[in-house]
Amino acid sequence: MVNERKLEIAAEIIVSSENIVAFTGAGASTESGIADFRSKDGLWSKYDPSIYASYHYFLEDPSKFWVMHNELTEKLENAEPNHVHYGIAGLEKLNKMTAIITQNVDMLHQKAGSGDYDNIPIYELHGSYGKLECIKCHKEFEYEEVDTKSVKYPVCDCSGFIKPKVILFGESLPPGILESAINAIMLSDCFLMIGSSLLISPANLLPQLAKENGAKTIFINRENTMRDDLADIFLRGYAGKIFQELLKKIHIKL
């Protein structure tokens, strides 16, 4: 049970804020049926990420990646947003959100309507499964345009391998994404961290940037993080359930 007083303080911070940045990790989507990659039921328990999610191995033989990715996309296609995603979209309607930063590739923020209100940017640090690209000629494709199920791996007309625009181990983040996210954080007055253990760099540096630039920081996560010291308020538990209770305090109905 979340401490009622902590919920009230977090709600007061949100109500008094005008430039909120939300940062979401895997824990924001687990209540949509998408397991954390590192959980006992996650993809890494079945597929060794150093092989199946390695850009080096992808260049040698994309088939292993596509076996894993096809299993993931079946879950992503059927996943629906939960209270976290709809709640963030609700804060956008109140003109309180200035940016969303996410480690997730599931596009559930878009499904919930985020980005539709005043063109709030969604910075997808690890890319998105909904866009694909030829790694040779860089032609882009929509997910629906490419047959990924009846072939070992999709190939472009130019003979280059087609790959989703997700970031594999050994790849750099998309150009400009991190810089834009940092700029948004530096202008924020409230930083909502939802569903991340803050283990992975550079994303784990973002709460500190927010704190150093004067933003109030609210952490919502099932477990302790590596940077609990940066949280003004830590609400521990399932993100969707906590977010639902939190938004009741500020009278947003989901």
Is the link from the previous residue into 202 a cis peptide, with omega within 30 of 0? yes
Q: Is 35-78+128-166 the same fold as 1-34+81-126+173-254?
A: no
pLDDT digits (tens, 9 = 90+) for 220-235: 999 999 899 999 999 9
- Domain 1-34+81-126+173-254 -> CATH class: alpha beta
Query: Taking the mean position of all CA atoms in its chain, how far away is CA 39?
Result: 16
Q: How far apart are CA 69 and CA 67, in angstroms?
A: 6
Domain 35-78+128-166: give its CATH superfamily: SIR2/SIRT2 'Small Domain' (3.30.1600.10)
**pLDDT at position 1, please?**
66
Residue 126 is a catalytic residue = yes
Choose the catalytic residue: 56, 69, 126, 138.
126
Contact 123, 44 (CB under 8 A): no
Low-confidence residues of the chain, pLDDT below 70? 1, 37-42, 44, 117-118, 252-254
Nearest in space to 138 (alpha carbons), one of 121, 151, 156: 156
**pLDDT at position 41, please?**
67
Contact 67, 141 (CB under 8 A): no
Residue 188, classed as helix, strand or coil, is coil
Question: DSSP assignment, residue 2?
Answer: -
pTM value is 0.92
**pLDDT at position 40, please?**
67
**pLDDT at position 63, please?**
95
**pLDDT at position 213, please?**
95
Contact 199, 44 (CB under 8 A): no
Q: How far apart are CA 211 and CA 197, in angstroms?
A: 17
Domain-wise residue ranges, the chain: 1-34+81-126+173-254, 35-78+128-166
**pLDDT at position 254, please?**
52
